[in-house]
Amino acid sequence: MQSWVFLAFFMIVVGLPVILGIGSCMFQRWLKHKERMAEALTAQTAEKAAQYAAHTERLEQRVRVLERIVTDKGIAISDEIDCLRELPAPFVRTN
């Protein structure tokens, strides 16, 4: 019985602190790894967001140019269409 008490005392006094110390060290390493992974993901997300913003800006510029072309030349094109409607149809021969 005395050896059982000594073994339980030894496990509580020596074993438990050793196990908790090793577990704490492993947990701290895991936390540092998770923090590095989060930082890398944040940097990657920020880079993609900047790329999407630049792409959106280019598309908006293209749409502005197209809108300008349509609105500026829209009146001239409609005038040309009206002029073509007023001209008599060309004579077409049928054989």
**Phi, psi (degrees; rounded to nearest 5) at 90:** -65, 150
Indicate whether 55 belongs to any domain.
yes
Q: What does the alpha-carbon distance between residue 69 and residue 55 come to, in Å, rounded to a whole number? A: 21
pLDDT band at 4 (very low <50, low <70, confident <90, very high): confident
Indicate whether 26 belongs to any domain.
no
Indicate whether 50 belongs to any domain.
yes
Q: Is the pLDDT of residue 78 over 90?
A: no
Range of the domain at 59: 42-72
Indicate whether 23 belongs to any domain.
no
Mean pLDDT over 29-58 rounds to 94
Mean pLDDT over 22-46 rounds to 94
Q: How many domains does the chain have?
A: 1
Indicate whether 33 belongs to any domain.
no
pTM of this prediction? Answer: 0.46
Indicate whether 27 belongs to any domain.
no
Number of residues written out for the chain: 95
Indicate whether 6 belongs to any domain.
no
Q: Is the pLDDT of residue 73 over 70?
A: no
